[in-house]
């Protein structure tokens, strides 16, 4: 079959498929609906997961491509802890201390270290209130290791951190919620009942999930205060301390991790044979955890879409078998005029694939529209990945070919004489 003949048969098959859809709207709609539902589910969940992963990756990159984190315990979604030694031996790990943070900061390989405690607080300004908003207590200089910008005002100083001053940097989302169009700088807001002076506004377009030691969480109201202020004024507990570490640009990350590991083990007096009683996580490792978490969504997505495609495939068989019966004489005429079995087979396979691709297109449009609405009206940064579009069309076409094979084979095997006699 030459290319011109192949192209002619393809366009003819597509045209016949659209004629069949117009002639049998209800049957075609039911067939298309199953495929459309399957593709809709795939596209919608793919858009949500893709958007979240992209946002989280951007979040982690904002801390610097070579930055890494130190936690008291490993971060994992696969380890189930019921409080016993067997399932969570790391629960006895000692907390990260400020002394250890200072020791790490003195290493020649390290450019910046941020000590951090994550908290929640209630914020109030006049009649405006935010309940359980994010509150991060940082050591001074946290912007060097954590990213984002002070877009108005200033960051707190080393002296203010040491003195435990009641100063606060709020992110632009909190400024919008509490102050609307007025200038928040130099005004006082109540943080869990204690007045704090607003000295700066921070902006960091980060993931709605936020990263482990960050002021990101771009769509949520959040505030940052000096670490010592958090301890003295709000009773923040150091056992929740973690570190964000940025190596010098000339130092490889693995080299910096080795230096930090050695220093922490020395600080804790661990013997060479003893395992680490702290956890170091890189951006790649944290991203892998996020990927593992959202892998569950992919499994659900595949299961739901498989059901939709199966329903659509059964519909393809039904509508194509009816089509073969109704067009028996037409098939006889085409064979009498010289059409080969391959030509007839190809024609019906193209028709079946066209049906499922129409359903896939409807599902793509609907899924993309829902993804746009999710992105527009929720904190989830949904965006349809191009590969999801290609995969949806390819899988739908494949489904049409597989389920259309039986009626296509039946049509191709028809005897031309018997077909011409068919009434």
Tell me what percent of the residues of the chain surpass a pLDDT of 90: 21
Q: What is the pTM of this model?
A: 0.61
Q: Vertex 230, ends 224 and 233: CA angle to 5°?
A: 130
Residue with tokens 């990756």: 57
User: Quick one: DSSP state of residue 83?
Assistant: S
> Is pLDDT above 80 for 305?
no
Residue position matching structure tokens 């007025």: 182
Two structure tokens written together for 62? 């904002």
Q: Which of 186-200, 248-262, 379-393 has the lowest mean pLDDT?
A: 379-393
Confidence of residue 398 (pLDDT cuts 50, 70, 90): confident
State the average pLDDT over residues 101-123: 90
Which has the higher per-residue pLDDT, 257 or 133?
A: 257
Residue with tokens 């220093």: 263
Average pLDDT value for residue range 256-277: 91
Tokens read off for 257: 């991790």
- Say if CB 246 and CB 66 are below 8 A apart: yes
Per-residue pLDDT, 216:
46
Beta-bridged to residue 133, according to DSSP, are 121
Residue 423's pLDDT is 63
Average pLDDT, the chain: 81
Look at residue 138 and tell me whether its pLDDT is greater than 80. Answer: yes
Query: d(Cα 264, Cα 72) in Å, to the nearest integer?
Result: 11
Are 319 and 291 within 8 A, CB to CB? no
CB 161 within 8 A of CB 226: yes
């Amino acid at each position: 079959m030459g290319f011109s003949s192949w192209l002619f048969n393809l366009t003819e098959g597509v045209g016949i498929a659209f004629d069949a859809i117009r002639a049998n709207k209800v049957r075609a709609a039911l067939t298309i609906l199953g495929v459309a539902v399957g593709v809709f589910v795939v596209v919608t969940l793919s858009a949500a997961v893709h958007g979240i992963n992209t946002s989280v990756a951007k979040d982690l990159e904002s801390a610097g491509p070579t930055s890494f984190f130190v936690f008291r315990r490993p971060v994992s979604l696969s380890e189930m802890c019921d409080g016993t030694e067997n399932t969570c031996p790391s629960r006895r790990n000692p907390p990260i201390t400020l002394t250890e943070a200072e020791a790490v900061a003195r290493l020649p390989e390290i450019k910046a270290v941020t000590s951090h405690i994550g908290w929640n607080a209630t914020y109030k300004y006049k009649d405006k209130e935010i309940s359980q908003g994010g509150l991060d207590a940082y050591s001074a200089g946290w912007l060097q290791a954590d990213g984002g910008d002070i877009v108005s005002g200033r960051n707190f100083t080393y002296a203010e951190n040491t003195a435990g001053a009641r100063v606060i940097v709020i992110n632009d989302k909190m400024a919008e919620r509490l102050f609307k169009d007025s200038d928040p700088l130099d005004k006082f807001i109540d943080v869990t009942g204690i007045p704090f002076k607003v000295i700066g506004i921070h902006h960091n377009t980060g993931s709605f999930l936020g990263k482990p030691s960050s002021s990101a969480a771009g769509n949520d109201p959040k505030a940052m205060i000096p670490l010592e202020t958090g301890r003295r004024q709000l009773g923040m507990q150091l056992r929740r301390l973690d570190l964000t570490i940025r190596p010098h640009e000339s130092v490889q990350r693995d080299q910096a991790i080795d230096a930090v590991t050695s220093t922490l083990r020395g600080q804790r007096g661990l013997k060479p044979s003893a395992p680490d009683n702290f956890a170091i996580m890189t951006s790649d490792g944290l991203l892998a955890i996020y990927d593992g978490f959202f892998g569950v969504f992919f499994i659900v997505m595949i299961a739901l879409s498989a059901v939709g495609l199966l329903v659509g495939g059964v519909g393809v068989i039904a509508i194509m078998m009816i089509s073969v019966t109704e067009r028996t004489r037409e098939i006889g005429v085409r064979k009498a005029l010289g059409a080969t079995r391959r030509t007839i087979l190809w024609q019906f396979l193209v028709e079946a694939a066209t049906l499922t691709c129409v359903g896939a297109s409807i599902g793509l449009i609907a899924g993309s529209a829902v993804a746009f609405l999710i992105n527009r009206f929720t904190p989830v940064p949904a965006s349809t990945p191009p590969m999801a579009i290609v995969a949806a069309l390819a899988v739908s076409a494949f489904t049409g070919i597989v389920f259309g094979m039986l009626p296509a084979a039946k049509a191709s095997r028809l005897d031309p004489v018997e077909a011409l006699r068919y009434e």
